[in-house]
Structure 1
Amino acid sequence: MSGDTAGHRGPVRWTAPVLVNRALGLPALAPLGCAWWLVSEWLPMDCHSTEEAASPGFAGDCDYTTLDHGPAMLWLTAVSALFVLVLVVLANRGFARKADIGRSVWTRAVPFVLLPFAVLWTLM
C-alpha cells in the first residue's frame, strides 16, 4: 500500500484526521472539565461574594470552598481552552497542508476532539 492517500476513500482517508483529533481530545479534557465544574458548581450558587453570604438577610446556599475556587477555575478554563484551541488549529491546518487528504476531511474530523470528554461524561 503506498503512502499516497489522495485516491483513497472511506476509512483509510479518515484514519489520520480522526486519530489526531482524538489524541487532541485528551488535553481538551482539562478545559472541558473546568467548564463543566463552573456550570454545575459555581454558577448555581446563590452568593457571589463572601460579603453577600455574611449579610444578615441572606438565606441562600453558599459553599465557601466553591466560592473561593471559582475565579481560579475560570482563569484555568480560559488558559487551557486557548492552549487546546491553538493545538487543534495548528494540528489540523498543518497536517492538512502536508497530507494529500485535504482540508475538508481534517475540518470534518475536528468534532472528534470532544470524544474523550463524551466518553468520560457518560461513565460518570
Structure 2
Amino acid sequence: MNTYLKKVLIYVLLKYVLFFVVLMIKQNNFELLEYDNIISGGTVQYIFFVLSIPVIISLIFTVGPIYFSFKSKNLLIIGFVLLLTLIFEYFMYVYGTSEKFFFDFNGLLLLIVSLVVFYFLFKKEINDLKF
C-alpha cells in the first residue's frame, strides 16, 4: 500500500479518535472508560456505532482528494484540497449533530484536531513540497 494512502487512512481514523477524546475531556464524561462499561461491551458497541458513520463519510469524501492532492506534489493544491475537505467536514458535522447550521464549537474543535493531526502526520511531506 502506498505511503500517502496509509498516512491518509491513519489521519482519518486518528483524528476522530482524538476528537472524541477531546469531547470526553470537554464534557467531563468518562463513562465509556468505566470498568463496568468496558466489561459489558457497552464501550465497544458505542465506539463502533459513534465512530463508524463519521469515519465512513470522511473516508469517502476526504481520502481520495487528499491522496491525489499529495500525488500532485504542489503545496497550493494540497492546501486548497485540505481547506475544501475541512469545510465540507465541518458543515457535515454541524448539520448532522446540531440544530445550528453555521457555528458550532464542537465543529470548530474537530477542525482544530484535524489540522493538528494532519500537520503531525504530514509535516515531512509538507516541508519537502514546493509552491
Q: TM-score, normalised by structure 1?
A: 0.35
**TM-score normalised to the size of structure 2?**
0.33
Structure whose residues are more often helix by fraction: 2
Select the structure of larger CA radius of gyration.
1
